[in-house]
Structure formats: C-alpha cells, structure tokens
Amino acid sequence: MAEVLVRVRNLVKYFKTSRGVVHAVDDISFDIEEGKTIGIVGESGCGKSTTGRCLICLIEPTSGEIIYRGQDICRLKRSEMKKLRKEMQIIFQDPYASLNPRKTLLQIIAEPLLYNKIIRTKDKFAIEKRVLELMDKVGLAERLINTYPHELDGGRRQRIGIARALAMEPKFIVCDEPVSALDVSIQAQILNLLKELQRDLGLTYVFITHDLSVVNHFSDDIVVMYLGQIVEKAPADELFENPLHPYTQALLSAILIPAVGANRERIKLRGELASPIDPPPVCRFDKRCNYYCQDCDNGVPPLLEITPGHFVACHLVKPRGNATVKAS
Amino acid sequence: MLQIVNRKDRFILLKKNLASFWGIYRRNTMGIAGLVILVCFALMALIGPYFVTYTSAAEGIEKVLQPPSAEHWLGTDDLGRDVFAGVVIGSRISLVVGLAATVISMVIGAVIGIVSGYYGKTLDALLMRLTDIFLVIPWLPLMLVMAALLGPSLGNIILVIGITGWAGTARIIRSQTLSIKERPYVERARAIGSGDLHIMLHHILPNVFPLIFANTILVAAVAILSETTLSFLGMGDPTSISWGMMLHFAFEMGAVAFGAWWWLIPPGICVVLVVLGFTFIGYALDEVLNPKLRRR
C-alpha cells in the first residue's frame, strides 16, 4: 500500500447566492495515494471541479480538512502556501481560455519559473533552456517557442498547459477535465502523455472528468459524485465490473461501445438534476432513482464499505446484502 | 540539441510585428489622414519655432493688424506680431499641455479602473462613486475653479486638465478588468502562486492596454480642447503663447470689431485639425489593435 499523499476529510464548500446556499460540495472524504490516479466523475454541476479547486486551495473550503503530507493546507499562512504551490498544480479544461492571448509560449511557460524565482529574470539563457526542456517533455516542437496561443491547435495548447504545470516540478496535479475540449484522437495523445509523465516523474493525479471511458483507462480509484456528495467509491476495475449504486449503473450503461451493431441496454433516468440550493436531508438521487422507495427518504445515506475498498452511499445497498439493486 | 532564441531573432520578430501592424493600419484611410495631420503639427511644434520670430513691431502703427500679405502670411495682430509665427509657436505649448495632461489622466484612470475592477466589493464601490462624482460634475466649472485656485501657470493647467479627465477611462478600464479577471488564465496564474500585483501587472494590464491606448488618443483630443478653452477664458499662463491664448488675446483686443478674421480663424482651425487628427487615429487604432478585428 502506497503512502497517502492527500487526505480529504469532510470537505464542504457552500456558495451563498441570492436564492439560497448552493451546496457545491457537501461533506466528502477520500484519500489520494502517492503515485496513483484518482478519478472523480459525475455530471455537470455535481461539484467535481469545485472539489479540484479546493484540493489545491484555489478556493477556500467552507469547512473540512485537506491534509497534504500531514499539513492541513487550508490553515497555512500565505508564505507557507506559496511554497506548497510549487508541489501542487492544476491543468484546466479549456485550453483556449486558460492561456493569456497576449503572451508567447516562452512567456507563458516561463512565468511560474520567474514568479517563484526558480530562475532569475536576467538569466535569459537558463530560462530558454528550461522552457525548451519542458516543451520537449510535453512534445512541443522547438520552433513554436515564439508563437502565440491562438496560432496553435487545441492539443498543442493543452500541451502548453501541461508544460506550465510541470515547470515547478510538482508532485500532485489536479487535471480538471483536461481532454473534454479536445478531439477524440488528440484526447488519446494527451492521455498517453499524462500517463508517461506520471511514470517518469512519479506524479499523483486527481483526474476530474464526466467521461467514464476516459477515466476507466486512466485511474486506479474512481469516485462517483452526485450533487456534491460521493455516491460510490471503488477501485476502477471493481467499479466497472460491479457497480452498486443505481446512479453509477446508469452512468456506466451510457458509455458507448465502439463496435458495429453493439447495443447495450441503457438504464434511463427520470427527471432532471435536482437543485443544489438548500437540498433536503434525504438521498439526493431519490426522485430520479429507478429503485425509489419509502426507505430512501430516511435521511442522507452514509458512505458504507460494502466489500473491501468498495464504498457505496445508498439506503438499499447494505454490506453483504446487495442483491436488491443488481441491475436487471 | 537546444536551439536558443537569441536577441537578434527577437529583434527580427519585433520588426515583423511592427510591419504587420503597419500593414493593417495603412489600409485605414481615416487613420492615415489623422496620422498625416498630427505628423505635420508635430513637426511644426518641434522645429517650427526655430524658423519664425514672434516679436512686436518696433517701427510703428503701419505694421499693426495687417491683413495677410506675402510678408506676413496670416497678417499681424494688434502688436504687429506675425500671426503665422504665433500659430507655429503656439502649437508647441498646446500639444505639450495636451499630451502631458493626457498622460496624467490615463495613469489615474488606468490605476483606478484596474484596482477597482480587480478588488471589487467595498473598494470598488468607493472608487466608482468617486468616479461618478468626477463624471457628473460639469468639468468646465470644475476646471475653472481649480485653475483659479491654483493660479495661472503651465504646470497647474496640465494638472487641472489631468485630474478632471480620468473618470471615463476609469469606467471603461474597470469594466474590461471585470471581464478579464474571471478568465481562466488569471485563475491559472493564481495556481502558480501569483500575487495580486503580479496578476494586475502581467495579466490584466497587457489585456486592457489596447483599450487604454485607444482611449489615450481620444482623451488627448479633449485635453487639447480643454487647454484652449481654459486659455481662452483667461485661466492660462499669459507668458506662454498657445492657440487658446492667441484666441484669448484676439477676443480681448476686439479682433471681431476690427474685422481681423486672420487673427481669430487660424488658431481656431489648428485646434480643430489637431482634435480631428487625434479622433481619426483613435477610431483607426480601435479597429487595428483589437485582436478580434485584426485580420491575419
């Protein structure tokens, strides 16, 4: 068992709006082991990106703890946090908007190096050497060093984002939907690149996505989120072979099979995503669930370990009694 | 093998960028017209004063208030001074005051706009109310009062025009800042640990700069007009001759009553031409510097 790098305990993030309190992330806990990849999946608005931003302290959680190597990063001073920033980085979803259009590739990749005084501003030669090294690592041609982001395609832009995240030699990277804005063929390239980098540099990833087929090949553990809460958490293989939560089952049935004539039976969900504003204290999936019964309104279901390593939050799934929700 | 981009390559790149900018700009007829006007006036202000003499006629009444002639292209004024020489010398003061005042108001406007938009909340509310005050107070009386209090000197005129003209800029810059600070690259900058000052200087400023620049040109036109107005109303420095000062003296000495049109009209036309030149360039730059409108 690898060492736990990040320990998330009872993480809560509420946003106050004029219409009420949005429960973006509501009491979630999980561990991230060093050198592993943990996938967070869920539909739009389920709080997965908010979780990712809390993990590297881009937004401050309402309550809860995020313990990185034994330190609670939410309670660190500014100067201490600045040191930790070098170890934790984020790769954003939109490679078009997340690069400053007025800076060249050299300036973009060099910025973290200069800002954190890893290389002195005057040392132009060292800066260029390091930037070219990083570009080489992520597969960007040297001749692109003076180009602007808008001259490049999506895949190359995402490579810039990765190079920039790698510039400070981080240990822990939050990948916030890094491939959802890209074409399928380029998705594969970027995923392979991330995989290679993980192997070479011993990185730990949190991989946020709504695309289960991506996360399947990429993650060691998968966390499924629904409306700010974790509904199921299991090793990737286990989750795909034996999904226990009705929501996970529905999600998995929606994956397209790349074969002619393949026709998997899809589990269709009723209704729409409930509002995350002041949700009632019941199972948040209740009204959409195909197995809905009176038990479901008996409070929020706790996340229980059903089989070793496999956690589910459902009133109908009890340890060693999961026959009730097996997909028909 | 690492190939290092050296200084020479950078220079070539800069030259290429300038060339492509010029390539777009020169297709803009309005912009070229404005540029030609301003270059003429700039040359006039720079080297003109060395070629003309603007002194009172010593030898008597026959030199006074002469209509245009071969000797005095634009006639003479009540002291027998050459009006053309006055226009040439006056261009220097008019342009210097206008540009210096513009720099002051752009710096104030940009700083207040960026800080207000970036920090938001209470600071934003305070700064924007201040801006509103400057926007709604009629600027001419405000300038007159300030100029009267500070006393007539060139520095004071610059200061007065500078600190009354920034409000519109601050508003524009603030709204653009509001949009830019929400862009993902600002969040990304925060993720590498950047502080507020770094983000404002390196991410927000470069992105509002085209707006500041285009606005500068338009504010410059207003500043020159303001200088003329203040001088015309007698708030200027009587020892430094500007176009406004010439108009002031012409009006005071009764140029209209004498029918001395050559004394009133040339400085007036110069002011109008310079303002027009700045406005033309302003509109042209707005189009050229906006990357979305730029053709590649």
Out of A86, A128, A167, the one facing B4 most closely (by C-beta) is: A128
Backbone CA torsion sign across B123, B126, B127, B132: positive
Query: What pLDDT, in 10s, does the model give residues A93-141?
Result: 877 788 888 788 888 888 888 888 777 777 788 888 889 989 988 888 8
Most confident of A23-27, A236-240, B111-115: B111-115
Which of A75-89, A189-203, B128-142 has the weakest average pLDDT?
A75-89
Closest CA to B117 of B163, B219, B186, B215: B186
Residue that has been written with the tokens 């690592």 in this structure: A137
Residue A83 to residue A142: CA distance in whole angstroms = 30
pLDDT for the residue A216: 81
For residues A314 and A293, is the Cβ–Cβ distance under 8 A?
A: no
Q: CA-CA distance, A284 to A25, in Å (whole number)?
A: 13
Q: Which of B5, B183, B203 shows the shortest C-beta gap to A146?
A: B5
A4-87+168-325 folds as Rossmann fold (3.40.50)
Measured N-to-C along each axis, helices A105-115 and A154-166 cross at an angle, to the nearest 10 degrees, of 20
d(CA B152, CA B241): 13
Least Cα separation, residue A213 to chain B (angstroms): 26
CATH 1.10.3720.10 fits B33-47+81-289, yes or no: yes
Q: B37-66 burial by CB neighbour count: b if 16+ within 10 A, else e?
A: bbeebbebbeebbeeeebeebeeeeebbbb
CA distance A162 to A92: 9
Mean pLDDT of B235-239: 79
B192·A112 Cβ contact <8 A? yes
Could you give the C-alpha distances from B20 to A249, B23, B295, in angstroms and in order?
A: 57, 5, 10
Contact A115 B184 (CB under 8 A): no
Cα angle for residues B11, B17, B22 (degrees, 5° grid): 125
- Contact residues on chain A for B4, CB-CB shorter than 8 A: 125, 128-129, 132
User: What's the pLDDT at B61?
Assistant: 66
CB contact under 8 A, A85 and B185: no
Alpha-carbon distance A181 to nearest alpha carbon in chain B (angstroms):
14
Collect all residues of chain A within an 8 Å Cβ-Cβ radius of residue B206.
100, 102-103
State the complex-level ipTM.
Answer: 0.71
Say how far apart CA A194 and CA A162 lie, in whole Å: 8
8 A C-beta contact, residue B118 and residue B207: no
Cβ <8 Å between A111 and B202 = yes
Contact (Cβ atoms closer than 8 angstroms) between residue A83 and residue A34:
no
Q: pLDDT tens digit string along B247-263?
A: 888 888 777 777 777 78
Residue B65 has pLDDT above 90, yes or no: no
8 Å CB contact between A172 and A6: yes
Q: Which two tokens stand for residue A274?
A: 């409930």
Could you tell me if A317 and A245 are in contact, meaning their C-beta atoms sit under 8 angstroms apart?
yes
Q: Chain A: nearest CA to B247, how far in angstroms? A: 46
Q: Per residue in A215-247, pLDDT tens?
A: 887 889 999 998 888 999 999 888 888 888 888
Is B207 in contact with A101 (Cβ distance < 8 A)? yes
Domain ranges of chain A: 4-87+168-325, 101-167
Q: Do B184 and A145 touch (CB under 8 A)?
A: no
pLDDT at A295: 76
Taking CA–CA distances from B206, the nearest residue in chain A reads A102
Claim: this prediction has a pTM higher than 0.95? no
Contact call for A112 and B185, based on CB within 8 A: no
- pLDDT score for A87: 86
**Residue ranges of domains in chain B:** 33-47+81-289
Q: What length does chain A have?
A: 328
Contact A112 B190 (CB under 8 A): no
Q: Which residues contact B146 (CB under 8 A, 6 or more apart)?
A: B160, B163, B164
Average pLDDT over residues A182-190: 84
Sign of the dihedral defined by the CA atoms of residues A145, A149, A154, A160, in that order: positive
Please check whether residue A236 is in contact with residue A41, taking contact to mean a CB–CB distance below 8 angstroms: no
Between CA B22 and CA B202 the distance in angstroms is: 25
Higher pLDDT, A176 or B11: A176
